[in-house]
Amino acid sequence: MLIRPNDRAHNHSEPSAITPRAIYEQRRELLRWLAAGAGGAAMAGWAGRSALAQPGQSPGRLAALAGVQSTVAGAVTMEKPTEYKDATGYNNFYEFGTDKTDPARNAHILKTRPWTVEVEGLVNKPRRFDIDELLKLSPQEERIYRLRCVEGWSMVIPWVGYSLAELIRRVQPQGSAKYVEFVTLADKATMPGVNGRILDWPYTEGLRLDEAMHPLTLLAFGMYGELLPNQNGAPVRVVVPWKYGFKSAKSIARIRFTEKEPGTAWNKAAANEYGFYSNVNPGVDHPRWSQATERRIGEGGLFAKKRKTELFNGYEAQVGQLYAGMDLRKNY
């Protein structure tokens, strides 16, 4: 569900009419991240950012959420993380508006306590989890993931959470369960975008069960060492780093296990543009733009040098076996 480049789409009534503008020109960086040795290098500068960042745009304004560094293969990239101000100020969260600055401006009214997540469907132990129960279900880990958007830009974000598989194992999926559906909050009182008709609300996403069980699929409660900001999917979201960002559902209210492939929001809106799998693939173009290259948000804006897009967003070694024998063009 991650983020479409800013296209001022307020006046568009159909998703297929939404076209991206040029990549948002970033403000100058406020801080350069410091190297601190193998494994933890990208995390070293967190504590020092507050002194230089603008008010309300740096870590320190939300409750701390620490975690141990993950040992899951591929879970910690050595790439430089995106600045906090960019990761929290340039978002795709259509429930709060279609402009990239709308979520940061509007999401403060979202109430994230109390919050429950209903787990239901083809499981032996369905139950309703309070958000604080979910937080304590497994030890929190720090992971640094690349995220890739379909329109040609990417971020590197330090997340805090644990593998979704930890939750799945506890509810015991039945043998007939083949898919996991995520249903997000759709509250007209706090989410102005839900009053529009760009998508079929509530926003839904889905994964095949083996994708959901993969250790890289993260149930995230925080980022940059703090609880998730509202505009980034508070209080709980999934992060699936080898897929385009819109697959990573935010503000989850319900998780449902099904036998049949669930309908997903963007696939229902424009099936020829947004497939169920939506694995990052430089060889499969979007009907209206190439997916072969990307720009990193915060690194030079419109004039940033383009990077070559990597298959599975660089996680092929970890997840490629999930799709062995599949036609990745047909099964987009």
Q: Kindly report, residue by residue over 182-239, the tens digit of the pLDDT.
A: 999 999 999 999 999 999 999 999 999 999 999 999 999 999 999 999 999 999 999 9
* 9-323: CATH superfamily: Oxidoreductase, molybdopterin-binding domain (3.90.420.10)
Rg for the chain (alpha carbons), in Å? 18
Q: Kindly report the pTM of this predicted structure.
A: 0.83
C-beta of residue 295 within 8 angstroms of C-beta of residue 20: no
Cα–Cα distance between 42 and 78 in angstroms, integer?
6
Cα–Cα distance between 322 and 31 in angstroms, integer?
39
Residues 6+ positions from 327 with CB-CB distance below 8 Å:
none
What are residue 256's DSSP bridge partners? Answer: 120, 181
The reported pLDDT for the residue numbered 322 is 98
* Domain ranges (residues) in the chain: 9-323
- CA distances to 91, 107, 166, 181 from 198, rounded to whole Å, are 17, 18, 34, 20
Candidates 282, 262, 285, 257; CA nearest to 273 is 285
The yes-or-no verdict on residue 76 having pLDDT over 90 is yes
Residues 6+ positions from 282 with CB-CB distance below 8 Å:
291, 292, 293, 308, 309, 310, 311
Cα–Cα distance between 41 and 22 in angstroms, integer?
32
The yes-or-no verdict on residue 17 having pLDDT over 50 is no
The reported pLDDT for the residue numbered 325 is 96
The reported pLDDT for the residue numbered 34 is 29
pLDDT (tens digit, 9 = 90+) per residue, 142-189?
A: 999 999 999 889 999 999 999 999 999 999 999 999 999 999 999 999
Mean pLDDT of 23-52: 31
The reported pLDDT for the residue numbered 7 is 33
Residues 6+ positions from 288 with CB-CB distance below 8 Å:
19, 273
